[in-house]
Amino acid sequence: MRDGLKLYRRLVAASWRAALQYKFSFLVSIFFNFWLSVTDLLVVLTIVYSTNTVGGWNLAQIGVIYGVVGIGKALFRTFGSELHMFQDYVIRGEYDGILLRPWPSLLVLLSRRFEFFRLGGVLQAGAALLLSLHYLGGPRVLGWKYFYLLLLPLTGTVIIFAISVAIAACAFWFGRIRDLQTLAFYAANYAASYPTSIYPGWMRTLLTLIPVTFVGYIPVKFALGLGGSAWYLVLPWIVAALTWVLSLLLWRAGEAAYQSSGS
C-alpha cells in the first residue's frame, strides 16, 4: 500500500513536470477551465434567481451541494481522466500494457495521465462552497458542521471515483460505454448538484442507487438543518466504502472477461 502510494506520487510528479514544460499554456488552460466551469454556476444562479428557492432550498444552500459535487467532479476529471477515456483502452487493446505491470491495475491506469488544468474547476467549485458557507454564517453559525461541510468533498470524491470505476468496468464486456457514462455518470452528477427532492420519485430512486445523492444532498440536508437525522452525516462514509467494494469486484470480474484486441 505504502509502496503503491510512493509510486503513484512519483508518476504524478513526472506528469506534473511534463505539464510545466509549457508553463504559459498550462496557466492559460487552468484559467480557461476556471471560467468554463463558472458557466455551470451561472445555470444554477439563473434558475434560483427566477424562482428564489428550489425545493425549499435557497441559493447559498444549493451552492453548498453544488460546491461539494463540483469539487468531486473536477478532481475526478483531473486525476481520473483515464477512467473517463477508458473505453478506448478496451477497444484498442491498450489495457494489455496496464496488466503487464506488477502493480494493481487501477493504480497503473490512473497514474498514466493527469489533466492538471482541470484544477481550475476545483478552484471554482471550492470558491462556490466557501462563499456559500460564508453566506450561511460561517463557523460562528454552523459550528462544527462548518468544518464537516468543508471536508465533505473528500467522501464525495471517493464516491464519485467508485461510481466511475464501476461504469468504466462495463467496457470490459460491452466495449463502447460513452452513452452509459453520459447517462449514469455525468447526467447523474449534474442532477446531484441540486437538491434531489425536486425530482420525481423514479429519478430519486435512480440517484440513490447510482448513489450520487450521497455525495452532497443527503449529508448537506442534515448539516444545514433542512431535515433528516444525524445518520445522514455518517451515510456517505458507509456508501463510499460499499461502492468501492462493489466497484472493485466488478473491475476484477471485468478484467477476467477482457478480450484485448486483435493485433
Partner 1 sequence: MITVQNLKKDFFVPEILPGPFGTIRSLLSRKGKTVTAVDDISFQIDQGEFVGYIGPNGAGKSTTIKMLTGILHPTKGSVSVLGHSPQGERRRVVGQMGVVFGQRSQLWWDLPLQESFELLAAMYKVPEQRYNTMLRAFDDLLQLGQFWQTPVRKLSLGQRMRGEIAAALLHEPKILFLDEPTIGLDVVAKQAIREFLQEINQQGVTVLLTTHDLRDIERLCQRVMVINHGKILLDGSIEHLYSQIGAESTLIVDFNQPIPSHSLGNGLHIVWESNSRAAVKFDRSRYSPNDLLQLMSSLGEIRDLHIVEPDIESAVAKLF
Rounded Cα distance, 106 and 255, in Å: 11
Rounded Cα distance, 53 and 258, in Å: 48
Q: Of the two residues 10 and 134, which places its CB atom closer to partner 1 in the complex? A: 10
Close Cβ partners of 89 (under 8 Å, ≥ 6 residues apart): 82, 95, 98, 109, 171
Q: How far is the CB of 83 from partner 1 (least distance, A)?
A: 17
Spacing of C-alpha 61 from chain mean position: 20
Helix, strand, or coil (residue 17): helix
Within 10 angstroms of residue 243's Cβ, the number of other Cβ atoms is: 21
Q: How far is the CB of 92 from partner 1 (least distance, A)?
A: 9
Q: Of the two residues 104 and 228, which places its CB atom closer to partner 1 in the complex? A: 104
Q: How far is the CB of 258 from partner 1 (least distance, A)?
A: 7
Q: Of the two residues 89 and 194, which places its CB atom closer to partner 1 in the complex? A: 89
Q: Of the two residues 16 and 31, which places its CB atom closer to partner 1 in the complex? A: 16
Site for partner 1, rule CB under 8 A: 7, 10-11, 14, 18, 93-97, 99-104, 170, 173-180, 183, 256-260, 262-263
Q: What are the grid coordinates assigned to 9, written together?
A: 506520487
Q: How far is the CB of 15 from partner 1 (least distance, A)?
A: 9
Q: What are the grid coordinates assigned to 181, written together?
A: 457514462
C-alpha distances (whole Å) from 159 to each of 43, 135, 185, 206, 243 are 24, 27, 11, 15, 7
Q: How far is the CB of 247 from partner 1 (least distance, A)?
A: 18
Q: Of the two residues 9 and 134, which places its CB atom closer to partner 1 in the complex? A: 9
Q: Of the two residues 43 and 99, which places its CB atom closer to partner 1 in the complex? A: 99
159 phi, psi to nearest 5 deg: -65, -45
Q: How far is the CB of 241 from partner 1 (least distance, A)?
A: 24
Nearest of 245, 136, 152, 133 to residue 192 by alpha carbon: 152
The DSSP output letter for 226 is S
Q: Of the two residues 205 and 260, which places its CB atom closer to partner 1 in the complex? A: 260
First to last CA, the chain: 34
Q: How far is the CB of 9 from partner 1 (least distance, A)?
A: 10
